[in-house]
Structure 1
Amino acid sequence: MRVIRLTTAVALALISAHAAAADKLKLQLDWMPNGGDKAFVFVGVQEGFYAAEGLDVTILPGRGSSDTLTKIASGAADVGTGGIASLMMAQAEGGIPVKAIMSIYSKQPDAIYSWQGSGVTDMKSLKGKTLGIPTFSASNALLPIMLENNGVDPDSVKQIKADPGTLVPMLAQGRVDGVVVWSTNRPSIEATLTQVGKKPLELAWTDYGLDGYGLSFFASDKLIKEKPDVVARFVRASKKSIEFSLAHPDKAAADQKAMVPEADVAMLEADFNVTKPLINNEISQRDGLGQFDPTLLQHTWEWVAKSMKYPLDKVNPETLVDRSYLAK
């Protein structure tokens, strides 16, 4: 197997592994490949899990879950990673020929980060504070609901939209009291705040009532219909890749570093270690890695519907998942 390595500067191109006579798959990430939270896809290539299933996987960098869905729906990618809430919103807004084929995060990653001594101690303390929020993020729609559910008037919290890359520097500079980001960013937040003598404080939304599925693997309806065996092999290999990564986070980071040379291997490992509880927890242990529990799936939709003001019968979340490729 021959591996092509590209830096992320050039990697709005791609990262791929070639195997002779294998089925080719384009795997669209929901973000750039230099974060360790999705190290398992690189493990799938480097450890040969995809090749063993007869798959030649090309990994493409992305710019959010909506980007993943658009690329898969248009045929620019075959499979990909993204938040299932984005799939639900896309379906509610007119439909999309994409299905979720495997859960990755069985807990939501949304969080607010501040620093100790900022005056932020819990959700209720956000009243009168200023939050930096990403320009485009499903978390933005959930934020008012989270505040309301925790006794805070959303209008009492000032919000400043900014590019995701500038949020943590804004926090370090004290320009905002907190930032809305995924908990998978904790290592980089800690490193940045430590440089300015601040200790981070995390308000994980799961601690304040948020439940439901997060990151998932998607596949196009076209691929599912025309090549179900390819989808089955992809799910099988991806599951092995995730299990390997959970058991060997150091090796997972090294595998990603091999394909993304400019990434910091220590930070990649730290990123994946804080991601592990989103993947391996009491929910996935109860239901099985990758599974979609009907009740939790419905709760996920209810959060989306409430945040976007959709009627609950607008979407049946069961129509958005295909469990047939997961081991019983």
Structure 2
Amino acid sequence: MFHRAIPTLAAALLVAAPVAAQETDMNFALDWRFEGPSAPYFLAIDNGHFAAAGLDVSVVAGEGSLDAIPKVASGAFPMGFADINSLVRFLDQNPGAPVIAAMMVYDNPPFSIVGRVSQGISGIEDLEGSTLGAPPPDGAWAQFPILAAVNDIDVSTMTIEPVGFPTREPMLAEGNVDAVTGFNFSSYLSLARLGIPEDDITTILFSDHGVALYGNAVIVNTEFAAANPEIVTAALGAIAMGVKDAIADPAAGAAAVIARNPAGDVALETRRLELALDANIVTDWVRANGMGDIDPARMDTAIEQLRLTYEFQNEPDAALYFTNAYLPEASVRMVAQ
């Protein structure tokens, strides 16, 4: 179903060497603002990984995956970063659009429920009978029916309280709801910053409870990739090295982010990056197989689970959404054990 890349990273760098002198410009579309988890892209710039690939990369902040995906599909941005589940829906609604995921970054998605022990939420078994705060546009809330289905949660016993993003964690801190849907590296930290002791905070990751979905991936315009396969492979290799740099020194990664976002807080973004690395990026599967690729069987299960929350207009096919054809060789993508 998936096809291995022909060019290795070394070959890509050799092929791209004449291009390097021309400093090929590339705009990269993030899905969100500059926060800790975006550190690998800035480290790839600051530590010269993109330059070694012959690329002068500009990373542009975004307003969600539904902002990043059209940017790449239109060709305005050759590459970007977006939730693969959003990409699946986009391609189902826009068949043939020239965009595909080329390197998985969040092997585990950040979808989670964050609750308070003092409000009776110590684990997933406590959700029945609770009050759950959920912003209607929230990505975790969109996938909550999958979590409920695979864990036989009787949602009819729960009270679902629509909340806004700015009021989500304050309502939980004030005890107006027992838990909220959100991302593990955001809601947790927001609650802690409101003064809630960390031993009173429970994080229920969907990926720990039978949800097979993948998370965010590097996406690429397929027309650009077909014309420039060696550049895409080299860029993915540079990003992989940026991830490894972030693993080695999260504080340096956060500092690279804050250099582009002076209003941020280095300590906060270091912690946010560490949470993303530990829960979403450096998983057991990634330690064993290297980052970037996917398990085809898991992807098939994920697509079947998506049917619980989305009615496909066309028969889904994993090959439409992800390819490993441009990945650099495994040695580039291996992370520390």
Q: Normalising TM by the smaller chain, what interval?
A: 0.7 to 0.9
For residues 102-117 of structure 1, what are the structure 2 equivalents within 5 Å?
102-117=103-118
- Decide whether aligned partners of structure 1 residues 23 and 134 sit closer, same or farther in structure 2, where only a CA change above 3 A counts: farther
Does the 8 Å contact 1:172/1:192 carry over to 2?
A: no
Instruction: Measure, in 2, the Cα distance between the counterparts of 1:210 and 1:140.
Output: 13
Structure 2 match to 1:79: 79
- Decide whether aligned partners of structure 1 residues 20 and 307 sit closer, same or farther in structure 2, where only a CA change above 3 A counts: same
1:90: how far off?
A: 1.3
Q: Secondary structure at the match of 2:137?
A: coil
Instruction: Measure, in 2, the Cα distance between the counterparts of 1:261 and 1:75.
Output: 30
Does the 8 Å contact 1:112/1:179 carry over to 2?
A: yes
Tell me the C-alpha RMSD between the 2 structures: 2.2
Structure 1 match to 2:130: 129
Out of 296, 299, 315, the residue aligned to residue 297 of structure 1 is: 299
Please say if 1:315 is aligned against 2:292: no
- Decide whether aligned partners of structure 1 residues 190 and 20 sit closer, same or farther in structure 2, where only a CA change above 3 A counts: farther
1:12-55 deviation per Cα after TM superposition (whole angstroms, max 9, x unaligned): xxxxxxx983111111111111x212211111111121122111
- Decide whether aligned partners of structure 1 residues 198 and 213 sit closer, same or farther in structure 2, where only a CA change above 3 A counts: closer
Does the 8 Å contact 2:207/2:213 carry over to 1?
A: no
The number of equivalent residue pairs is: 308
Structure 1 match to 2:90: 90
- Decide whether aligned partners of structure 1 residues 287 and 126 sit closer, same or farther in structure 2, where only a CA change above 3 A counts: same
- Decide whether aligned partners of structure 1 residues 286 and 177 sit closer, same or farther in structure 2, where only a CA change above 3 A counts: same
- Decide whether aligned partners of structure 1 residues 83 and 171 sit closer, same or farther in structure 2, where only a CA change above 3 A counts: same
Instruction: Measure, in 1, the Cα distance between the counterparts of 2:267 and 2:198.
Output: 21
Structure 1 match to 2:263: 262
Question: Sequence identity of aligned pairs in percent?
Answer: 27
- Decide whether aligned partners of structure 1 residues 173 and 197 sit closer, same or farther in structure 2, where only a CA change above 3 A counts: farther
Give the counterpart letter for 2:263 in structure 1: E
Does the 8 Å contact 1:168/1:192 carry over to 2?
A: no
Unaligned segments of structure 2, at least 5 residues: 1-19, 331-337
Does the 8 Å contact 2:98/2:221 carry over to 1?
A: yes
1:120-171 deviation per Cα after TM superposition (whole angstroms, max 9, x unaligned): 2333322232222233233223212312332322233232333333311221
For residues 150-161 of structure 1, what are the structure 2 equivalents within 5 Å?
150-161=151-162
- Decide whether aligned partners of structure 1 residues 108 and 195 sit closer, same or farther in structure 2, where only a CA change above 3 A counts: closer
Structure 2 match to 1:281: 283
Structure 1 match to 2:41: 41
For residues 203-222 of structure 1, what are the structure 2 equivalents within 5 Å?
203-222=204-223
1:86-123 deviation per Cα after TM superposition (whole angstroms, max 9, x unaligned): 11111222323211010101112211011121022333
- Decide whether aligned partners of structure 1 residues 324 and 123 sit closer, same or farther in structure 2, where only a CA change above 3 A counts: same
User: Greater CA deviation, 88-97 or 280-289?
Assistant: 88-97
Does the 8 Å contact 1:108/1:210 carry over to 2?
A: no
Unaligned segments of structure 1, at least 5 residues: 1-18
- Decide whether aligned partners of structure 1 residues 61 and 160 sit closer, same or farther in structure 2, where only a CA change above 3 A counts: farther
Does the 8 Å contact 1:103/1:215 carry over to 2?
A: yes
Instruction: Measure, in 1, the Cα distance between the counterparts of 2:115 and 2:183.
Output: 13
Give the counterpart letter for 1:93 in structure 2: Q
Please say if 1:55 is aligned against 2:66: no
Structure 2 match to 1:6: none
Does the 8 Å contact 2:212/2:299 carry over to 1?
A: no
1:196: how far off?
A: 8.1
User: Greater CA deviation, 19-28 or 314-323?
Assistant: 19-28
1:258-277 deviation per Cα after TM superposition (whole angstroms, max 9, x unaligned): 22222111111101111112
Does the 8 Å contact 1:294/1:318 carry over to 2?
A: no
Does the 8 Å contact 1:123/1:147 carry over to 2?
A: no
Does the 8 Å contact 2:114/2:188 carry over to 1?
A: no
For residues 138-157 of structure 1, what are the structure 2 equivalents within 5 Å?
138-157=139-158
User: Greater CA deviation, 298-307 or 132-141?
Assistant: 132-141
Does the 8 Å contact 2:172/2:178 carry over to 1?
A: yes
User: Greater CA deviation, 110-119 or 126-135?
Assistant: 126-135
Does the 8 Å contact 2:102/2:323 carry over to 1?
A: yes
Instruction: Measure, in 2, the Cα distance between the counterparts of 1:169 and 1:93.
Output: 36
